Amino acid sequence: MARAMLIDESRCMGCRGCQVACKQWNDNPAEETENWGTYENPPELSGITWTKIKFNEKVEGDQVKWLFLKQGCMHCTNASCEAVCPTGAISHYGETVIIDQTWCIGCGYCVAACPFDAVHSLNQVTGGGEEKATARKCTLCIDRTSNALTPACVKTCPANALDWGDRGEMIAKGNARVAALQADGHPKARLYGERELGGLHRIYVLVDEAFAYGLPESPQHATTNLVGQWLGGIITAGVLAAVPFWLLFKRQRATAGKESISGGGE
């Protein structure tokens, strides 16, 4: 049974309780930020900030309204980050896209490939005293959901804007909410994530067009040809010594097989 998070942006009040819950549960440190002219803080997702509320202003006549967006990894069925990862560090565990930190080499391909800007690098000092960059993002609280608990952000939301459960049920709830919003004078209300990139596991109820929230109307899947390009780049850079050589070409053969099945590309 695939599960998903339903995010009803019509109910979100921008309290950012989900941001705090995410930080606390995952033991991620606070960002060092400054006032940059908006209530939104921090300004971007990062290797230590896996979810945040984006404040979008929309002017209608002489009125200004907020369109809040809960940003983070969408856990795409057809995940670009997984497709371009040359070491196989990124994979699916049920509905969750996870990054195996022991295999991540910090190449940054997943960071560049994500159409939602949800993957970011984090520099850390290893046990041997060396600095290593690895990719980090929302884990959909897999340590909670695999033990019959809801994600921390869902648990803490005071506005009941977040829900968690069977993906089909979440889609049904979302469509019902969209219908109610349209009947209540929001003709642009829509469900986002049901079909995008094979189906997202963060599904949104929006009261306006996707672009008004800063979401791509038609997110594109990254081509696995990037893996071949990456191989050429690291050979030039002399990075191969840090990576099991056989693993890179095993990954390249696997992605080439996927492309031949799909007719040469995504």
Domains present along the chain, CATH in parentheses:
1-217 (3.30.70.20), 223-266 (no CATH)
pLDDT, residue 262, reads 37
Residue 237 predicted with pLDDT over 70:
no
CB of 42 closer than 8 Å to CB of 28: no
Backbone angles phi, psi at 248, to 5 degrees: -60, -45
pLDDT, residue 232, reads 57
pLDDT tier, 123 (very low <50, low <70, confident <90, very high otherwise): confident
**In degrees to the nearest 10, what's the CA dihedral of 28, 135, 97, 163?**
30
Q: Residue 8: helix, strand or coil by DSSP?
A: strand
pLDDT, residue 265, reads 37
pLDDT tier, 200 (very low <50, low <70, confident <90, very high otherwise): very high
Q: Residue 37: helix, strand or coil by DSSP?
A: coil
Q: Rounded to an integer, what distance in angstroms lies between the CA atom of residue 73 and that of residue 82?
A: 12
When the pLDDT of each residue in the chain is averaged and rounded to a whole number, the result is 87
Alpha carbon distances (Å) from 66 to 59, 102, 226: 9, 41, 38
- Segment 174-192 mean pLDDT: 98
Encoded tokens for 197: 């990139």
Q: Rounded to an integer, what distance in angstroms lies between the CA atom of residue 100 and that of residue 81?
A: 13
Sign of the dihedral defined by the CA atoms of residues 11, 157, 36, 45, in that order: negative
pLDDT, residue 215, reads 98
Locus of tokens 């941001």 = 19
pLDDT (tens digit per residue) in 37-52:
888 899 999 999 999 9
Q: Rounded to an integer, what distance in angstroms lies between the CA atom of residue 101 and that of residue 84?
A: 16
Q: CB-side exposure of 216: number of CA atoms within 13 Å?
A: 12
Residue 25 predicted with pLDDT over 50:
yes
Q: Rounded to an integer, what distance in angstroms lies between the CA atom of residue 47 and that of residue 123?
A: 8
DSSP state of 261: H
Ranges 27-31, 84-88, 125-129, 196-200: which has the least confidence = 125-129
Burial of 224 (0-12, 13-18, 19+ CB in 10 A): buried
CB of 68 closer than 8 Å to CB of 58: no
Residue type at 219?
P
pLDDT, residue 192, reads 99
- Segment 210-231 mean pLDDT: 79
Query: Which position has the higher pLDDT, 126 or 74?
Result: 74
